[in-house]
Structure 1
């Protein structure tokens, strides 16, 4: 299939008019209509419903529009790689919880040392970042360690950190007094929706002990999880790094949960390991993590694997 047909199709869908799209694309209206007819023939179905006010996507057209955008992005990346035009670009996925302890320092280092590198940061929960990896959109990605990593990505274990229970200030938990898992039994929790890795880890750990919790609220927004816990809506469970720089230290109580940890890994797109920019990005991921661990700002975190262990030792 000619990728141009998909580009024309998406532009018509965005503008809702073949005439407007033809003008925008510098094509004649009959020529663009022929392209649409060709795409519909290739797909074997109608993609637009024509009305006096313009065109609207059919159900099949909506499905194609949703799937076509990441496909075109992948095709663009492929063309850049073949032409070696992507050497100065990095797309990296980073967990929201890492923002203060890692992401901001990492971006600052990269921008200062490599001003000619275009850096694109995708920030989100682990399941969303995995979707980006499956679509081939990321060069580097930090996600919980997985025994079955995304195809085409090489996985390197980085570090392990405790999961912490967070509640309102009156709950009286202390960072130096680990909370037993049994403390979660029967309490109301604010957690991300499935299939989030942290949510699954908490559920499976409690299930093995014959325990369960009450779900107060589901949200994939970390700041909302913390704020609802602060307001006493329910407790929440987050990685320890979430609390660094959050500004909530004086208004919440928290404690590490005994025996509950999350191991983070760096995934590298093997199709992009020829890029000097990506290789430098990987090096800065390791060094920024090492600085955070050596500076003792990351509560309870410890390196896992050779790469970060050596880097951390050199920072000490």
Structure 2
């Protein structure tokens, strides 16, 4: 049985559409249709029910979809033992804030360790990465905890960062470890939900029976929020990813907030976890993250 045909079949089963699967695989729709007919001929039974809008699995097709990932995983393990340089493509999603200390080092590591593996990298805000994962575009991504379903994505914790309160210098300085109530003391700038930090903060305030933060400005990202606080347009914001040596450098008072943390997870598409290149990529991401934290290039983060 041709393992590439099985890979293609699983993509069609995942998307419920030959056209959509062909686009993601990078082949034409007629070529993929011919490949599926070849697989059905090899199996000896129909696997798909062609409909006007997409396809559905026959009983035989569902059985193959259930069993094929395990077969492919065993095949991939054998290939991995025979070759350290699989010729494949891995599609990765990375949040913009980790570009310098994770994304760029990862690319260098992949080019050195697996030069035949082609990387396709999408970078953006967490909600953008979430949409790409749910659409089946990405094989693997770094995302905040609880952003995507554990039923569809294997999730491995890799790092966490403290949530930090930034307050303009003209206001009273909070303690180095500010209590949750400090987030309710002055108006805030924070991206709108489902921003991960805002969700964590609002959930914690609700659990502590404190009022919700007075969010008067909703900038697109935290860089803008920092600028608004520093310039005095708004009193404070809460964020991760920016740790300064002193308030003068930041232009703001800086405190950790209520012991809150944002946990970063490695989300892996369960349908493709058998792929050799994907397994290699996972290992290298974990290595790069560990090194960035130990060398303190991912400021404030700790490994989990």
1:188 maps to: 187
Task: State how far apart, in whole Å, the 1-side matches of 2:172 and 2:136 are.
Answer: 45
2:5 maps to: none
CA contact (8 A) 1:95 1:125 kept: yes
CA contact (8 A) 2:183 2:213 kept: yes
CA contact (8 A) 2:292 2:298 kept: yes
1:95 maps to: 95
CA change 1:188–1:165 in 2 (3 A) is same
Instruction: Report the 3-state secondary structure (helix = DSSP H, G, I; strand = E; otherwise coil) of the residue aligned with 2:165.
Output: strand
2:202 maps to: 203
1:135 maps to: 135
Task: State how far apart, in whole Å, the 1-side matches of 2:171 and 2:95 are.
Answer: 27
CA change 1:210–1:251 in 2 (3 A) is closer
Matched, 1:263 2:286: no
2:292 maps to: 292
Task: State how far apart, in whole Å, the 2-side matches of 1:191 and 1:77 are.
Answer: 35
Q: CA RMSD in A?
A: 3.3
Query: How do 1:301-312 and structure 2 match up within 5 A?
Result: 301-304=301-304
CA contact (8 A) 1:149 1:155 kept: no
CA change 1:111–1:254 in 2 (3 A) is farther
After superposition, give the CA deviation of every residue in 1:111-169 in whole Å (9 maximum; x if it has no partner).
Answer: 44444433222222322221111100111111122296254321112222211112335
Matched, 1:233 2:180: no
Task: State how far apart, in whole Å, the 1-side matches of 2:249 and 2:93 are.
Answer: 27
CA contact (8 A) 2:153 2:267 kept: yes
CA change 1:147–1:214 in 2 (3 A) is closer
1:166 maps to: 166
Instruction: Report the 3-state secondary structure (helix = DSSP H, G, I; strand = E; otherwise coil) of the residue aligned with 2:178.
Output: coil
CA contact (8 A) 1:165 1:254 kept: yes
Task: State how far apart, in whole Å, the 2-side matches of 1:133 and 1:292 are.
Answer: 25
Query: How do 1:15-26 and structure 2 match up within 5 A?
Result: none
User: Any gaps of 5 or more consecutive residues in structure 2?
Assistant: 1-14, 36-71, 73-85
Query: How do 1:268-283 and structure 2 match up within 5 A?
Result: 268-283=268-283
Task: State how far apart, in whole Å, the 2-side matches of 1:173 and 1:295 are.
Answer: 30
CA contact (8 A) 1:164 1:257 kept: yes
Q: TM-score w.r.t. structure 2 length?
A: 0.65
Task: State how far apart, in whole Å, the 2-side matches of 1:120 and 1:222 are.
Answer: 26
CA change 1:272–1:223 in 2 (3 A) is same
CA contact (8 A) 1:189 1:214 kept: yes
Task: State how far apart, in whole Å, the 2-side matches of 1:147 and 1:94 are.
Answer: 14
